[in-house]
């Protein structure tokens, strides 16, 4: 399932394929990204290239591995979050992205949950396949396309946080931090009479 997802609007671009080598993935991505860029406002012309370079360099701050930015850069128009597949890092593909004002950002290894596309793929796959018994790959591909069209009629924007983040925040508040390490306890550790006495002596002193 080739997927491009825009979290701010919830719109998804999806195409089902039987195989996904670079010869299939890269042309599809280039076509979809070109169509998206055509719908964006034209970038303003800047005579000084320093602000443009600063925009690109800012998104490389803190990265342990960063690719070398060309000396001549177009205005930054889009951020593209990708996972760490080797096909996403081929020099020809990365240079094409940069030439079109697209900054690729890669999720860390073993952290696919940072890519919201994983969530939308799970939702659409469940809606397309739940309760059905496909007889061919083409049938599955057709179901994926149909459910994506239906989703885009009333898309749901995604954002970081939400109820899960609120629950995690409340959970952290319920924990009791322990000294000398990063450990936490689910409930407060009872103090012994000696500890209470020592504390009272310190306060009195």
For β-strands 102-106 and 78-82, DSSP reports them as parallel
pLDDT of residue 94: 93
Both 56 and 147 in a single domain?
yes
Query: What residues does 11 pair with on adjacent strands?
Result: 6
Question: Of 111, 128, 153, which residue is a domain's last?
Answer: 153
Residue 138 and residue 182 in one domain:
no
Whether 172 and 92 map to the same domain: the answer is no
| 10: DSSP letter | T
Place of tokens 């990204």: 33
Which residue segment(s) compose the domain that 199 sits in? 162-204
Looking at the structure, tell me whether residues 56 and 38 fall in a common domain: yes
36 and 94 in a single domain? The answer is: yes
Considering the domain architecture, whether residues 145 and 180 belong to the same structural domain is answered as no
Residues 49 and 99 in one domain: yes
**Would you place residue 144 in the very low, low, confident or very high pLDDT band (cuts 50, 70, 90)?**
very high
**CA 120, CA 122: separation in Å to the nearest integer?**
5
pLDDT digits (tens, 9 = 90+) for 15-33: 999 998 999 999 999 999 9
Number of domain units in the chain: 2
Q: Average pLDDT in the 155-176 region?
A: 76
Q: What is the CATH number of the domain that holds 134?
A: 3.30.420.10
pTM of structure:
0.74
């Amino acid at each position: 399932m080739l997927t491009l997802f825009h979290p701010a609007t919830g719109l998804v671009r999806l195409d089902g394929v039987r195989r996904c080598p670079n010869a299939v993935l890269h042309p599809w991505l280039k076509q979809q990204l070109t169509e998206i860029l055509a719908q964006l406002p034209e970038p303003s012309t800047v005579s000084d290239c320093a602000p443009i370079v600063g925009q690109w360099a800012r998104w490389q701050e803190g990265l342990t591995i960063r690719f070398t930015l060309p000396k001549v850069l177009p205005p930054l128009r889009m951020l593209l979050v990708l996972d760490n597949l080797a096909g996403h890092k081929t020099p020809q593909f990365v240079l094409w992205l940069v030439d079109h004002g697209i900054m690729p950002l890669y999720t860390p290894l073993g952290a696919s949950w940072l890519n919201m596309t994983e969530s939308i793929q799970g939702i659409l796959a469940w809606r397309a396949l739940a309760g059905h018994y496909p007889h061919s790959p083409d049938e599955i591909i057709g179901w994926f396309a149909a459910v994506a069209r239906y989703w885009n009629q009333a898309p749901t924007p995604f954002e970081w946080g939400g109820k899960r983040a609120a629950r995690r925040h409340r959970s952290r508040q319920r924990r009791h931090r322990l000294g000398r390490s990063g450990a936490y306890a689910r409930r407060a550790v009872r103090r012994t009479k000696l500890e209470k006495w020592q504390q009272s002596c310190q306060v009195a002193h």
